[in-house]
Amino acid sequence: MAVGVLYRVRQFTLALGAHVSRERTDDLAPYLDRPQLDLFNRMSSIDQHHCKAVFHALQVAGHRDPSLLSAALLHDVGKTLGPVRIWHRVLAVLAKTLVPRLWESMDANPGTRLYPLYVHRQHAAMGSDLAAQAGCGKDAVWLIAHHENPEPESQVGDRMRGLLVALQDADRVN
């Protein structure tokens, strides 16, 4: 648990200084078409910075699969539906760790005070729906939908399992 807390403190500190300028998204064109880039641009600068860090970590590790790289760039897009702010993220980590029953019962009604926490908890499924609507391929949509799952379904093939593990590993350290 101490490692998880230290990781979250580091992540929070990095997030405070995160910013992605709109001009610096040109390198994303091979992986995101216009509707998908619009989704990326809807994310907070914190999430943009994080998603680009995950994307670059995968590239540095030698990953070239377009579905994986697109998923890396959009894996947190569901958080735009909250919207999930920095204080929601802190509260989410605390609730998930200290009061898991409360975490699992967050309010699903838009407009309520706890709705952004519900969105935080459900952002993978919500984000995969947004990605599908924006025309992402089925593999990228699946990766986005499952990036928070510790164990994918047993019928998942080796290729998709490997891509998911790569996405999760890069997400965990960025």
Report d(CA 83, CA 145) in Å as an integer: 18
pTM score of the predicted model: 0.85
Q: Is the N-terminal amide bond of 100 cis, ω within 30° of 0?
A: no
For residues 115 and 65, the answer to whether their CB atoms sit within 8 Å is no
CATH number for the domain formed by residue range(s) 2-173:
1.10.3210
Closest CA to 52 of 139, 174, 162: 174
For the segment 82-103, what is each residue's pLDDT rounded down to a tens digit? 888 888 888 888 888 898 888 8
Report pLDDT for 133. Answer: 98
What residue spans define the domains of the chain?
2-173
Report pLDDT for 150. Answer: 83
pLDDT band at 18 (very low <50, low <70, confident <90, very high): low
* Per-residue pLDDT at 9 exceeds 80: no
Report d(CA 135, CA 83) in Å as an integer: 22
For the segment 142-152, what is each residue's pLDDT rounded down to a tens digit? 999 999 998 77
